[in-house]
Structures are given as structure tokens and as C-alpha cells.
Chain A
């Protein structure tokens, strides 16, 4: 009960912020929230389950494109489009995960990298279905019971997405499933001897987190009301990896800190050094790996411990 009050209170507080922001900062805030949602689910996949996958941002794109295509080309109602969009993500995730977990870890990285590239090729060559290089534009969120959610109210929808993502991952992490994921990451042979089905655990973690990324993508589709191939390129897949590593892999708080920091950093750095902020990211990344593999959260833990 207290927990529920806390979740609702957080939702109201985070949503209230949107009502005090202008259009520009509302847009920044929405994208920040979406990065947090993505970093949270990617942290479960990479940090907790230990799977080096580069497909997470592609699933964000698959979710976004799916919902738009299902709504405006297949003319399906919104709830049906959302459910089918999740089904698309789950089917693609299973198709990637089941064969790759039979191979060693390195191959998952290669297969998911190939998927991310293939996704962009399909988008570019998709003709009228995907809108080709120009993508899909000029659509708007359908009305729900005659109401069209817009402005700060849509930001509140994104807040709910972030909190649902966090709640799902939180519960998984503190269960036999979360421990099985960590056990598989730390020592697959010992995990197996303790009764953990290693392949099954990996496939479920991959599919669940990919579906969460897809769900975030569906919400994103109505932030800019545009989906196009360059948005879902590999650059962002690597940014996601940076966020989780710099923040502290394996920890929800680390994912949140990493996402907030690396998303906001360019806004601070751009006036100073222009587009060279990528260089700063690189340095941060190397520093994190060499000096503090547990990321910013690791530094925080150490300060608190001493």
C-alpha cells in the first residue's frame, strides 16, 4: 500500500514538471524520459543478464514503426495496434535469441549488430510501407474516447511508461528470475548445476527487455510524429551502452544516472565545444572502464561506505 502511494506520488511529481516547461523543454524532458526507460531495460539485458546485444535501439525502432504502420496503413484501432506491435517485437526477439544463445556470447553481439543494420536496410527499402528514406510523417495520435492526449498530458504518458518499465524490472530483479539472470552472467556452469536453464533464462531476458524497448518506441512514435531510418541508427545503440556502463551496469539507479548524464551532457557541452562532445563521451567511457567499472553508482557506493 505504501509502495503504491510512493509509485503514484512519483508519477504525479514527474508529470507535474511537464506543466511548468515550455514546448522546447517539454520536448527535451520527454526524450530524457524515453532514454531513461531504454537505459533501464538495456541495463537488465546487458548489466544484469550479461548479454552483449546491440539490438535494443532497433527494437525501439521496430516498436515505433510497427505501431504507426498498424494504425495508419492497416487502419487498426489503437489498443489492437499496441498489442500487435508488442507481438512483432516478441517474435523478432525470439527469432534472434533462440538461435544465438546456442552459440557463445560473442555471436550474440554479431547477430544483434546484423539485426540492427538489417533493420535500417529494411526501412530504407520498404517502399510505401515504411516510407523509405523519408520515413513516415504527418500522422497524429488517434483519439481515445474522443480525447486526444497532447502537450504535457502526453509527457505524463511517458512518465507512466518509465515507471511501469522500472516496476517490471524491479520485480523481476528481486525474484528467482533476476537471480537466475545474474547467476547465468557470473557463472553459467554453476547456474546450470543449481537448476537454472541457461538458454531459457537468456531467451526470456532478451525477449522481455526487447519488448519493453518496443513499447518505449511506440510511445516515442507520437513525440515527434515522425519515424525515419536515421533516428534508429547504430550510433544510438552505442550511446545506450555508454549510458549503462558510465552510470553503473547491473543497477537500476546506475542506468537512470547514466541516461540523464549522457543525454544532458551535449546540451551543456555543445555551446562550448560544438559537436566534439562525442570525444568527451569516449574519454568518459574509457575512464569508467579503467578506473571505475561499477560506474558512477560505484563511486557513490564507495563514498557512502567510507
Chain B
């Protein structure tokens, strides 16, 4: 068995008296799509933000490629090649699509400020620009590279989120509900892209509450309820797990 690229042990987050994540363990392997699911309020987003460095954990450990990463700021996490998308698209409004993607490549630039000032960073800039254009093609925004981001549809904005994150040459991609708010056709497209990303050997951690989207896509699933893991395994097993069914139905009945 390969070594896991991401290893989460005993991860705990308390907000005052509320335990949002309780003693959570899981790992993600290279080229694997791990789905993290659970009803609303199960703590999925909290787990996501803890790994991405947007929130500080109360206890536990997160190791990436063997190194502890808990407590690092988000930009240092990105520098370790863990890239994320946002559930609500967060493009950089004052820039065209290709420049948005190039921001994603920020940590991949080797030339320093002095090289930039001396005019010695042009070859690298051209190279990165070329790569960004390829990523824009990969997600299917080929015609929009020069477009201003405010002319994109919501679905195109989600594709931009993915291209921008890929520009950071991730070893682990974190997706925060990538299908939320999309049409069925767009959702199918996103699923194909995510499969393509994993096929390149990139580890994928996918946060989702829509089981119909996640189960056909994920290689393995971890189910959260009230911050704790209630099931883990192959999608087929999760589908028929009574604890999962009751968590989802219980949630639906309460809603």
C-alpha cells in the first residue's frame, strides 16, 4: 500500500462549547478521490478550513507528505502545493481570466523581485502564461482566456476556480462543494474534470453534501455527522450503510 499524502489524526475543533469536529482520523492517497460527506452542519466545511489553514484547530495533527501543516497560514499551505476552490466563486474581479489563473501559479514562479526589475523574468512569465492557457483549455474555458471575469456565467466561474487552483501544481486538491448551484450538464462536466485531475496522480479531497454527485465519483468516502466520523469505505458500502441513511433521513425529516 502506498503512503498517504494527507494524514489527519485526532483532528478536533471546538467553538466555545460546540464541538464542530471531534477526534477525526482519515487519510488521502495520491491519485485518489476521497469524498467527505455529511448532512448540513456535520462539520465538513470546518474540516476543509482546518486543512486549508483558514481556521486554527483545537487539537490533532494534519501531516502532508509527512510534514505537519496544522497552524500554517493559507499561503504557506498553498506553497506546499495544496490548492483549493471556493464554494462561492471568489474570482479576482479586476483581472482577465488568464491573469486569475496566473495568480494561482503564484508559488510556482522562481524569479525574485530583482529578476523582475532587471527584466530577467520574461521567459518564465511567457512559460507560465502558456501553461495557464493550457489549463484554461483543460477546464473548457478556451474561448474566454482574455475575457473579464465579470462576463463569465456562474458555471464558468466554477471552472475558473478549478483552473486557478490547478495552476499551483497541486499534489492535493481540495474541492468545497464544487457542484453547488450548477446545472446537471455543468455538474457532469465538473465530475469529468475531477476524474481527469485524479488520473494525473493528484490526490483529491472533495467536500460535498449531494450524495448523487459524490458517490459515482469518489473512490472512497468518509461520512461525518455532528463532527464525528460515522462511516468510511467504498461508495457502494456507504450507500447501504444504515448509520448513513439514518443521518441523512433524520436530517431530511428535521428540515
Contact = CB atoms under 8 A, between A and B. Distances in A.
Contact of B103 (A172, A183, A189): A183
Contact of B78 (A179, A182, A194, A250): A194
Given A175-B125, A176-B102, A182-B95, A192 B109 contact: no
Interface string B142-168: 000000000000000000000011001
A187 B73 contact: no
B106 A179 contact: yes
B168 A194 contact: yes
Contact of A197 (B75, B91, B117, B165): B75
A196 B106 contact: yes
Contact of A195 (B79, B95, B125): B79
Interface in B163-183: 164-165, 168
Given A183-B92, A185-B94, A186-B95, A194 B106 contact: yes
B102 A192 contact: no
A179 B102 contact: yes
B113 A186 contact: no
B107 interface: yes
B241 to A, nearest CB: 33
Nearest to B79: A195
A168 B117 CA distance: 6
Contacts of B73: 192, 197
B103 to A, nearest CB: 5
A206 B52 CA distance: 28
A67 B137 CA distance: 53
A203 interface: no
B90 interface: yes
Given A179-B95, A183-B92, A185-B94, A190 B86 contact: yes
Nearest to A168: B117
Q: Interface residues of B toward A: which range?
A: 35 or more
B13 interface: no
Contact of B113 (A182, A193, A204, A250): A204
B117 A195 contact: no
A171 interface: yes
Contacts of A175: 111, 116, 121, 125
Contact of B74 (A168, A182, A193, A250): A193
Nearest to A3: B119
Interface string B59-100: 000000000000001110011000110100011111100010
A179 to B, nearest CB: 5
Contacts of B109: 176
A250 B113 CA distance: 20
A192 B54 CA distance: 9
B92 A186 contact: yes
B39 interface: no
9 contacts: A172-B113, A174-B125, A175-B111, A179-B95, A180-B106, A194-B104, A195-B168, A196-B103, A196-B106
Of all A-B residue pairs in the complex, the 4 with the closest CB atoms, nearest first, are A195-B78, A195-B107, A190-B90, A186-B92
Interface of A: 168, 171-172, 174-177, 179-180, 182-183, 185-187, 189-198, 204, 250
